[in-house]
Structure 1
Amino acid sequence: MKGSIKGSLEKFFPWFIPLFIIAAWQLLSWSGAIPERILPAPSQIIQAGIDLTITGELSEHMGISLWRALVGFLIGGIAGFVFGLLNGVFRFADLIFDTSIQMLRNIPHLALIPLVIMWFGIGESSKVFLVALGVLFPVYINTYHGIKSIDKKLIEMGKAYGLNGKELFFQIILPGAMSSILVGIRFSLGVMWLTLIVAETISAQSGIGYMAMNAREFMQMDVIVLSIIIYALFGKISDMIARYFEGKLLKWNN
């Protein structure tokens, strides 16, 4: 009984501060301490969400943003993982690719927006490309670092027990690098949403960022704040999913 109560409290604790802020925000709005023109009350934002849900506009924009984020994350994540794997395992690939990747990594990918618009226009390809580019480098760096930091004695021990090729990779190298790879994935999820926010507010005709910018034209503060909160919730949910898989894949580390 005590264990279940403790478990319930532990699940609630991460949400305590956000819920406290929302409650204080609502009370200050009711009292007039926070003017509506500066920041609308949570109740107004919820009402705006309900109105947009009824019209179908909210679900449409959310679906488009999620699609962009997912496709860009898969493309960039897979590319970063493959390059990190190749450069971490094979010395020849490391010599050929790592220097070039490190040079590209130091270019702020959001600074490429004008160039990307000229390449791809303002269609879906430009957003997906930017998200993929932003995700690629965190996954690459952490995959590469995870493989390079594996204790050489573990690899030697695996070889001594007759492990070679695929067996050595799947039983020693990949499990040893998994913790670092998952850190890269969690970090890249934050970069994914950051990139998407900027891309959708600068060059888009749909999506949550576009919804926020369109609301700005009509001074709809509640819709703007709603868009920001949706991005925050998406970020939190994606991080929770990453932590769930982290717990499953790293049971030995719990």
Structure 2
Amino acid sequence: MAKVSNQVSSSYFSRKEHWESSRWHPRRYGRIWLGCLLPALIVVFWEFASRQGLVEAYQLPAPTVILTKLIELTQSGELAGHIYITVYRVFAGFLLGSVVAIILAVLVGFWRKAEYIFDPIIQAFRSIPSLAWVPLFILWMGIGESSKITMISVGVFFPVYLNLVSGILTVDRKLIEVGKMYKLSFLQQVWRIVLPASLPSFLIGLRSGLGLGWMFVVAAELMGASQGLGYLLVLGQNTLSPETILVSIVLFAIIGKLSDWVLKLLEARLLRWQDRFVRGG
């Protein structure tokens, strides 16, 4: 009887957990609305302050003015081109920076001599400000797409490299010893032990790297760009158009958040095996 009761209880909680985590559960929509609450309050206060003259329109135009400018750029077809080229640059730089970071992180994580060779210069380069690279990349590669993508990849590289190295070096030594007891080859140890154990750190590095990619694209689009959200930002500054500047900033925020959300979904799917802490509320 107790066994049947336990099975029923287990089945009930399993169904309950599945329902609460499903996309149709009201609590899921509640979380979305909570996330929208603070931005909505900021927009309402901002609009009120602008209409009451608490802030000058030439310094901070009202959200309705920014929305009008956004619609104008969209209807002209100009905005789609700016968004497309910026997204292309960010994701090309993200891919390049991540691949190089993974290769070097694996070398440094597994071989001490590789750490002695590569890590000091990587740590030194990490302290160089992003804008310091701009004249050098223009000198080396001109003002074409290659210099812009390389610039973004530099920003992506460091968080991916640092987090993956940290993840590899913090793998439990006992797990490796168990793998050796079962006579796993080096590649099998990497695939079955090291990769799953370092995956949380690696995914955090990817999210941080993508965030820096969106920041570095502004510096990259200073290098003679004629299109892109960073170019639109500079254009607004040169033409004394604060609404154009804010349209660009808002789009950076929205697209950056959407790209991070995609990586967060990937993280949740790949780390389902983790027995994570469950927060209250």
If the length of structure 1 is used for normalisation, what is the TM-score?
A: 0.93
Displacement, 1:202?
A: 5.3
Partner of 2:252: 231
Larger Rg: 2
Counterpart of 1:46, as a letter, is L
User: Residue 131 of structure 1 is aligned with which of 152, 161, 175?
Assistant: 152
Displacement, 1:17?
A: 1.1
Counterpart of 1:38, as a letter, is Q
User: Residue 76 of structure 1 is aligned with which of 94, 97, 108?
Assistant: 97
Percent identity among equivalent residues? Answer: 37
Counterpart of 1:56, as a letter, is G
User: What does the per-residue CA deviation read over 1:133-186, in whole Å, with 9 as the maximum and x for residues that have no partner?
Assistant: 111111111111110111101111122233222221111000100111111111
CA distance in 1, matches of 2:54, 2:162: 47
**3-state DSSP class of the match of 1:251?**
coil
CA distance in 1, matches of 2:128, 2:46: 39
Partner of 2:27: 6
CA distance in 1, matches of 2:67, 2:222: 22
User: What does the per-residue CA deviation read over 1:24-62, in whole Å, with 9 as the maximum and x for residues that have no partner?
Assistant: 212222233233111111111111111111111100011
CA RMSD of superposed structures (Å): 1.8
Q: Is the 8 A contact 2:143 2:223 kept in 1?
A: no
Q: Is the 8 A contact 1:88 1:144 kept in 2?
A: yes
User: Residue 243 of structure 1 is aligned with which of 264, 276, 279?
Assistant: 264
CA distance in 2, matches of 1:144, 1:85: 7
Counterpart of 2:89, as a letter, is R
Matched length: 254
Q: Which has the higher helix share?
A: 1
Partner of 2:186: 165
CA distance in 1, matches of 2:123, 2:48: 50
Structure 1 segments of 4+ aligned residues over 4 angstroms from their partners: none
Q: Is the 8 A contact 1:200 1:209 kept in 2?
A: yes
If the length of structure 2 is used for normalisation, what is the TM-score?
A: 0.85
Partner of 1:54: 75
CA distance in 2, matches of 1:238, 1:200: 19
Answer with 222-231 or 108-117: which moved more: 108-117
1:1-254 equivalences in 2 (<5 Å): 3=20, 4-201=25-222, 203-253=224-274, 254=276
Answer with 98-107 or 233-242: which moved more: 98-107
Q: Is the 8 A contact 1:201 1:212 kept in 2?
A: no
CA distance in 1, matches of 2:233, 2:165: 38
CA distance in 2, matches of 1:205, 1:31: 37
CA distance in 2, matches of 1:104, 1:221: 35
CA distance in 1, matches of 2:224, 2:162: 29
CA distance in 2, matches of 1:6, 1:77: 35
**3-state DSSP class of the match of 2:240?**
coil
Counterpart of 1:87, as a letter, is V
Structure 1 alignment gaps of length 5 or more: none
Q: Is the 8 A contact 2:134 2:219 kept in 1?
A: no
Displacement, 1:73?
A: 0.6
Structure 2 alignment gaps of length 5 or more: 1-15, 277-281
